[in-house]
Structure 1
Amino acid sequence: MENFRRSIGLRIKENKEVWEGEVTNITPVEAESSLSGYGKTISHCMIGLKTTKGTKQLKLDPSIYESLQKEKVNVGDVIYIEANSGSVKRVGRCDEYASEFDLEAEEYVALPKGDVHKKKEVVQDVTLHDLDVANAKPQGGQDIMSMMGQMIKPKKTEITEKLRLEINKVVNRYIDQGVAELVPGVLFIDEVHMLDLECFAFLKPGFGVASRSDRCSRY
């Protein structure tokens, strides 16, 4: 069942308040460490974002600076920062830095339009198994998986069939509201020659054969 749910995707669309633009500068600001008299720590980070409409200098929390490092953000990259959660997403390299060669692996994107601070439709692709894991061990936050966890109020440490059914109900609700859509995937079965006739009969309806649907529904 875990492998089945890994192969079923969910595309979620949310309208979020973000800061978006091409990075013009990243400047970490150091301060004396309060824990000891030696060494320094990052107190905050200054970052410049540019769009077609203008530029903006932001003063960010040290945790967001760590996220910038994890995303490997450099000057010239196009990013957006979610205002509520502070999560950072690197969209790609600004196409102003694109060269005439085709062998570069970098993905180039256009300079964002509008203001740096805006409301943006953020698209997130997850699998049903990702939702299972996130809600089995909820961490809190403002993303869709944490919000789903708050709706069904799980306090579990393992993925149970009951948890999956609860998640399915919430997923169906999001689909009915037009917030999300299912993305069919592909399930690879290795060592297929080891399967017996009953297994093949179970898989047959998935290939468009209507027979034995009562058997499939139990799974």
Structure 2
Amino acid sequence: MSGIKLTSGENGGIASGGVTVREMTRLERIGAHSHIRGLGLDDSLDPRKCGSQGMVGQAKARRAVGVIYRMIAEGKIGGRAILLAGKPGTGKTAIAMGLAQQLGEDTPFTTMSGSEVFSLEMSKTEALTQALRRSIGIRILEETEVMEGEVVEIQIDTAFGGENKAGRAKGGMEKTGRLTLCTTDMETVYDLGTKMIEALSKEKITAGDVITIDKASGKITKLGRSFSRSRDYDAMGSTTRFVQCPEGELQKRKEVVHNVSLHEIDVINSRQQGFLALFAGDTGEIKSEVREQIDAKVVEWREEGRAKIVPGVLFIDEVHMLDMECFSFLNRALESDMAPVLVIATNRGISKIRGTEYKSPHGIPLDLLDRLMIVSTEPYSHDEVRKILSVRCEEEDVEMADDAMELLARIGIETSLRYAIHMIIASSLAATKRKSATVEIDDVKRVYRLFVDVKRSTQYLMEYNKEFMFNELDDRTTEYGVDNNNHHDGDEPVEGGVSGDMLMASSP
């Protein structure tokens, strides 16, 4: 079994003619929760203030999830289930993302939506099974012989081909070479073949690099540059990593750790080209016999000390979109010996279970609710909304005036936090249009008039409901605090919203 690692290449900066090309080390994309770096907890699991790791407010919920994190890290909570319940816009998904960041890359964390199982070309139970097995990591320990040292010199000779066994001249050119490796105690010269020369060229190995060579596979890994070459500025980049020259023998036995998920092992062993199916995503349905054999083998590896099971996390957002069959399957799957931690989130109150006429809290059957540890989220206060918007402005690199930030916070309280967050970049574009680097209150007002929130949109529907197709509302219907008999001008906020005096003081 071999691991695959995808890495991005390093491009050095180029300067010519007074124009500098900046080095691009990674491509960043600002997303809805890209500002989340963790749960923002200290060592005693108390929430830190001032937006630590991007988390604001929800102190009780973060502390509860912090306890869950500690139990996951210690491997004491496999097969448990946690429900994040709260009204929309109270940070349920943000807390789940914070848990994922806190656990790190070594712990599998799978995210899916409740409605996702109905859009895949496989059965619902198969989709959930694959998601569960993606969330269970296997840490395989393997001992291998490696050569580790600092590259002193690489010498490559090119010669025309000689004669073959029939005495005829061979075409093409042959490459031979020598590699000099050293540690603090010894130095050795190795002869290189064509494949090793190509591998060294592909990894761009030069004198001064510290490398490891797997003797079994011939794989070359670049650990960094030796500290003795730290003054070679022509061979440095902004991401250059410096390491010490290895000590002791050049050849040594090393323990290599391969981190894979159960689903990856399933796919590789279930299809003729299963390894490629991991990239294509066309895994199809996997036979239960294959999974049973793999589970037995993993248990055998664990008993021999060759593998360790790492229970990860499966996060299902909008879990109320699942139906009774899916809930029953999850109920049974949590009793498995190798079940991950199940974290689910919903914003529903007492509602119908999908596909049935039965009502239940959060739209989840009572037998599954009995298994859940429920974490409630509370509405944000005005100061917390303002701090969240400030964190988002920092993430999106937007300068905002204090009065504009105060107005945006009031909009977030009266409408929704998501709507206020969406207004940040739009207000920034409005400020850029008038050639200003700072978002002013007039920019926020302009965007507020251009993009309506759900309350004003509902009020508009109530006012013009007779002109829309398939209208099913009667004159007595009230929703979102909007009465069909109480009409407002289309440019004014609805009753209970942000005051018109603040928003309509100036024209766009």
Per the shorter chain, which TM-score range?
Answer: 0.5 to 0.7
1:40 aligned to 147, 151, 173, which one?
A: 173
Q: Give the match for residue 108 of structure 1.
A: 242
1:56-67 alignment, distance < 5 Å: 56-67=188-199
Q: Give the match for residue 25 of structure 1.
A: 153
What percentage of aligned pairs have identical amino acids?
A: 35
Q: Distance in 2 between matches of 1:60 and 1:138?
A: 34
Cα pair 2:154 2:177 within 8 Å, conserved? yes
Q: Distance in 2 between matches of 1:21 and 1:48?
A: 9
Q: Distance in 2 between matches of 1:120 and 1:138?
A: 32
Deviations 1:27-72 (A, max 9, x none): 3332324798554133x43212121211111113322333333434
1:1-219 alignment, distance < 5 Å: 1-33=129-161, 38-42=171-175, 44-98=176-230, 104-136=238-270, 160-187=287-314, 192=318, 195-198=321-324, 199=326, 202=330, 206-207=341-342, 212=368
Amino acid at match of 1:104: S
Look up the SS of the partner of 2:199 in the other structure: helix
RMSD: 3.8
Deviates more, 1:7-16 or 1:67-76: 67-76
Change (3 A) 1:39 1:107: same
Higher relative contact order, chain-length normalized (CA < 8 Å, sep 6+):
1
Amino acid at match of 1:196: L
TM-score, structure 2 length as denominator?
Answer: 0.32
Q: Distance in 2 between matches of 1:184 and 1:11?
A: 11
Tell me which protein shows more strand as a share of its residues. Answer: 1
Q: Distance in 1 between matches of 2:299 and 2:219?
A: 26
Change (3 A) 1:68 1:161: farther
Offset, 1:113? 1.6
Offset, 1:192? 3.8
Change (3 A) 1:37 1:55: same
Amino acid at match of 1:91: L
Deviates more, 1:127-136 or 1:5-14: 127-136
Offset, 1:116? 0.6
Offset, 1:115? 0.7
User: How many residues of Structure 1 are paired with residues of Structure 2 in the alignment?
Assistant: 190
Look up the SS of the partner of 1:118 in the other structure: strand
Change (3 A) 1:68 1:135: farther
- Structure 2: stretches of 5+ with no match in the other structure: 1-128, 232-236, 274-284, 335-340, 345-366, 370-508
Q: Distance in 2 between matches of 1:187 and 1:87?
A: 34
Q: Distance in 2 between matches of 1:11 and 1:118?
A: 22
- Structure 1: stretches of 5+ with no match in the other structure: 140-157, 214-219
Offset, 1:117? 1.4
